Chain A
Amino acid sequence: MSEYAFRKINIDALEEDVLLPSDLYDPDPRGPDGVLGDAQRKAGEVRNLVSRGDIPGALNAILSEPPYGDGVDEAKDLTTTSLLLILNSTRASEIPTILKSLGQEQQDHLMAYIYKGMAAIGQGSDVSGSVLLNWHAQLTEVAGVGCIVRVMTDRRTL
C-alpha cells in the first residue's frame, strides 16, 4: 500500500499561498475584549428584559451585532446561553408575531443560533429539541429557505 502514502501528505502545509478560513471574512472591528464586554452587557440586559416579559426587546438586543469568528469563545457561549434562555421562555403562540418584528439580519442570526442549539442537544444543554424545532419551523415560514442557505454559507460562525 506504500504507493498510496502520498495521499496522506498535508498539501496545505507545502503550499505557500494557501487560503485560510480567516481570509474569507473580515474580523470584528470591536476586537476580542470589546466583543466580550458587549456580550456581558447584553446578557445582563436580556435577563432584565426577559424577567419583565419583553421577549421581542430581548431578542432584538441579543441578535444585534452578535460575536463571531475566532478567539471570542467566551462571548459566543454567553450569547448562546442568553439566546436559548429567551427561546425557552417564549410562549409558542407568540412566536410568529415576534419573528415578524425582527429584521432580516436578525432572522439570519436567529437561525444560526437555532442550529447551534440543535448541535448542542445531548451535550449538557438545557434546551429541548422540540422548542428549537418549533422555532425553526416558524422562522422558515417567515424568512424562507434563503435564511437557511445564508446560515450554511456564512463563514462568520456565531
Chain B
Amino acid sequence: MSAPEIFQLSLGPLTGIAFSPDRSQVCVCPNSNEAQIYTRNGDSWDLTDTLAEHDKLITAIAWGPNTNRIVTCSQDRNAYVWTQTEQGWKPALVILKINRAATSVKWSPHENKFAVGSGSRIIAICHFDEENNWWTAKQIKKPLRSTVLSLDWHPNNYLLAAGTADGKTYVYSGYIKGLEAKPEATIWGDRLPTGQLLAEFRSPNGGWIHDVSFSPSGDALAFVAHDSSLSIIYASGPNEPPAAHIVVKLPALPFTNLTWTSESSIVAAGHDCQPILFTGSQSGWAISHSLDDPSSTSKPLTPSATGLRSGGGVGRLGNNEAFNMFKAADSKGQRGLAPSGATPSSAGLTPVGPDGLLLTVHQNTITHVEAYEWNQSGEVSKIFTAGRDGRLVLWPVTGGKGLAGRMAGLQV
C-alpha cells in the first residue's frame, strides 16, 4: 500500500468526473460547459480531448466500463451520449423532455440504458431508439416533490434508487418493456412495471439526500443526507418493512457522496474534506477511521499546487498565510504563526494547520467518491475522490477495524 496519489486537475471545482474502463483516461468537467478527457502520462495527466456540445455547466458524467461510452448531462437540460470514433468523440442527442437542469446521470450495470435525474421532479430512464438514431426517455414523476440529486442502479439492472431534495430516498423499478427481459421478483419488490415505487425512506432530520448507493449484492441501500447522517437500509422482502434501518449521526459536517467498498464497508466524504471508512452489518454501523490521517502522513501538502490558487477569489482569504499572521497578531497578540491546530477542540472539526490550510489532502468539499480498483475477492482496494478544490486523489482503502488491518497498510 502506498500514500494517496494527488493530482491538481483544475483550479476551480470539478463538477463531474468519470474514469475510462482501463483507468488510463479520466473525463472531468472543470466547472464549465465542456468536458475534458485527460490521458495518464506517468505522474501527470495530459489533456487529449474536449467534449464541447453543452451550452451550460455540466453537472454529471458517467463512463460505461463495458461499452466505452460517455454520457454527460448539463444545466442546459440536455444529455449527450459520446461514442469514440476514428475522428474523436461523437455526441448523440438524448430526448430528455425536462424543463429544468439535469443533475445526475448513471449507466445501468448492463449499459443498455441510463438514468438522468433533474430539477423538474423527473427521473428519465433513457434507452437507444434504433429507428430515429437517438436516445429516448421514459419518465418517472411520482411521487417526486423536488429535485432529484442522485441516482444508483441495483446490480440486477432493473431497480433504481433516487435521492431527492425533499429529504427522501425512493426505490423504483427501472424496467423498460420491449428493451429487456421481464424482471424476476427481488427482495425489494415483486411487481415491477416501469416506474413502480417499491420503497421510500426519509432522512432522519429531513436533510437533502446527497447520494444513494446499493451495496454490491443489492440487498442493502445506503444514503447520506445534509443532516450529517448516513443511513443504511437492509431489505427483507417484497412489501415488507426493512429488516434493518440503521442511522449513523455524525459529529462532523455532512457527507455529499458515498460508495460501498465491500458488503460490510462504506467510504463516505463531503464537507469535512476527508474520506471516512465505515464498517458494519445488519446489526449496526460505526466509523472505522479516516483514510486521510493528517497525523500519519509525512507528505508535503503540495504547496506548489495550492500556490497556484493565489488568485483566491471571494471567501478564500482564510487560507492566506499573511492574512492569518496579521489576524493572529490582531486577535491573540501573537507575533508568529498560530500554533498548529492539529487537535481541534470540538468534535468533528476538520483540522487546520498553522498556515490556515487544511491538514487534509483535499482543501475543499469532496463531491465525488467512487471505486477505482478492485482486488481478487471483488472488494474495492482503491477509491478516487474529487472535489471543489479541483483535485483528484487516488486512495488505497486501508484495512478494516483494529491495528492489524491498519498495520497491513503500512509501508515497511
Contact = CB atoms under 8 A, between A and B. Distances in A.
A149 B347 contact: no
A98 B110 CA distance: 54
Nearest to A137: B346
A108 B167 CA distance: 18
Nearest to A154: B205
Given A144-B348, A153-B205, A155-B206, A19 B166 contact: yes
Interface of A is mostly: helix
A154 B251 contact: no
B221 to A, nearest CB: 20
A146 B251 contact: yes
A9 interface: no
A56 B204 CA distance: 25
A24 interface: yes
A155 B204 CA distance: 11
A23 interface: yes
B78 interface: no
B346 A144 contact: yes
A51 to B, nearest CB: 33
A156 B228 CA distance: 16
A139 B389 CA distance: 31
B117 interface: no
Interface in B159-211: 166-167, 202, 204-208
B146 interface: yes
B356 interface: no
B223 to A, nearest CB: 14
Contacts of B328: none
Interface residues of A, number: 21
Contact of A143 (B207, B208, B226, B347): B347
Contacts of A134: none
A140 interface: yes
Interface string B238-282: 000000000001111110000000000000000000000000000
Contacts of B382: none
A147 interface: yes
A23 B205 CA distance: 14
Interface string B205-235: 1111000000000000000011111000000
Contacts of A154: 205-207, 227
Interface residues of B, number: 26
A14 B250 CA distance: 40
B166 A150 contact: no
B347 A144 contact: yes
A141 interface: yes
A11 to B, nearest CB: 14
A19 B205 contact: no
Contacts of B342: none
Interface in A2-39: 19, 23-26
Nearest to B350: A145
B345 interface: yes
A15 to B, nearest CB: 11
A150 B167 CA distance: 13
B211 to A, nearest CB: 16
Interface string A112-150: 000000000000000000000000000011111111011
A104 interface: yes
B346 A141 contact: yes
Nearest to A147: B251
B346 A145 contact: yes
Contacts of B206: 24-25, 153-156
B166 A149 contact: no
A144 B251 contact: yes
Contact of A145 (B225, B226, B249, B251): B251
A149 B227 contact: yes
A70 to B, nearest CB: 15
Contacts of B346: 140-141, 144-145
Interface in B326-369: 345-349
B235 to A, nearest CB: 22
A91 B201 CA distance: 42
Interface of A: 19, 23-26, 104, 108, 140-147, 149-150, 153-156
30 contacts: A19-B166, A23-B145, A24-B206, A25-B206, A26-B202, A104-B249, A108-B249, A141-B345, A144-B250, A144-B346, A144-B349, A145-B228, A145-B251, A145-B252, A145-B349, A146-B228, A149-B207, A149-B227, A149-B253, A150-B205, A150-B207, A150-B228, A153-B205, A153-B208, A153-B225, A153-B226, A153-B227, A154-B206, A154-B227, A156-B205
Interface of B: 145-146, 166-167, 202, 204-208, 225-229, 249-254, 345-349
Given A143-B347, A144-B349, A146-B249, 6 more contacts: A24-B167, A144-B347, A145-B252, A149-B207, A149-B254, A155-B167
> Top 5 nearest A-B pairs by Cβ distance?
A144-B251, A144-B348, A146-B228, A144-B347, A153-B207
